[in-house]
């Protein structure tokens, strides 16, 4: 048995408000998505630069450590490496990019002088200091790379999430609400015509 659906004007008003709210949310999410994409490409450009700097620093450090190995020998370098007690510090804070929390990594005491590294200067060539300084630079570049790579991953995840919400509103929720609005509007018009027709019939039957 078919059910006679009789919507009301208040239901239509509420539905129109929902559609307006959904469209407003859609526009906000779309702007957020576009803004996040711009931010992502800005960080991507920075990431490419950081990667290139890291690779260059790493190649330079490998070259210098190979020179130091040739001068001092592997056993001496290993002994000097074990004598270093202070390995520097890293602090992690956060920053907000359009609602996405990304890391802000700060390094401390990574670059040190010869005396600060902990090994004695007597009997140690300048090649060792050059190699140590080069690898300290590599660590700094690694920290920068970690920050931008993590930021990219977080932004990309938020972009995908926002895109899904935008698509759901654009292709599912708003069209469904609009179809319901059209149905209710047509049904109310139909009920109004039926009511007018009924009133006319009553008026004809009523004696003057």
pLDDT, one tens digit per residue, over 64-93 is 999 988 888 888 788 777 666 666 678 889
Tokens 């996405």 correspond to what residue?
100
Q: Which of 100, 101, 98, 102 is nearest to 28 (CA)?
A: 98
Domain positions in the chain are: 25-201
Could you say which architecture CATH assigns to the domain 25-201? Orthogonal Bundle (1.10)
pLDDT, one tens digit per residue, over 107-148 is 776 776 665 666 655 556 788 888 888 988 998 899 999 999
pTM over 0.85, yes/no: no
């Amino acid at each position: 048995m078919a059910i006679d659906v009789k919507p009301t004007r208040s239901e239509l008003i509420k539905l129109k408000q929902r559609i307006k709210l959904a469209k407003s949310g859609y526009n906000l999410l779309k702007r957020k998505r576009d803004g996040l994409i711009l931010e992502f490409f800005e960080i991507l450009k920075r990431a490419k630069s950081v990667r290139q700097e890291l690779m260059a620093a790493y190649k330079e450090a490998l070259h210098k450590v190979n020179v130091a190995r040739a001068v001092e020998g592997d056993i001496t370098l290993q002994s000097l490496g074990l004598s270093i007690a202070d390995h520097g510090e890293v602090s992690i804070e956060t920053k907000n990019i359009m609602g996405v929390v990304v890391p802000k990594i700060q390094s401390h005491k990574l670059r040190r002088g010869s005396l600060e590294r902990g090994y004695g200067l007597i009997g140690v060539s300048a090649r060792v200091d050059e190699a140590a300084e080069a690898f300290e630079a590599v660590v700094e570049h690694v920290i920068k790379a970690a920050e931008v790579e993590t930021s990219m991953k977080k932004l990309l995840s938020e972009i995908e999430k926002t895109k899904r919400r935008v698509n759901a509103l654009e292709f599912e929720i708003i069209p469904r609400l609009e179809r319901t609005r059209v149905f209710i509007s047509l049904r109310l018009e139909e009920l109004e015509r039926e009511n007018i027709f009924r009133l006319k019939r009553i008026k004809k039957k009523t004696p003057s």
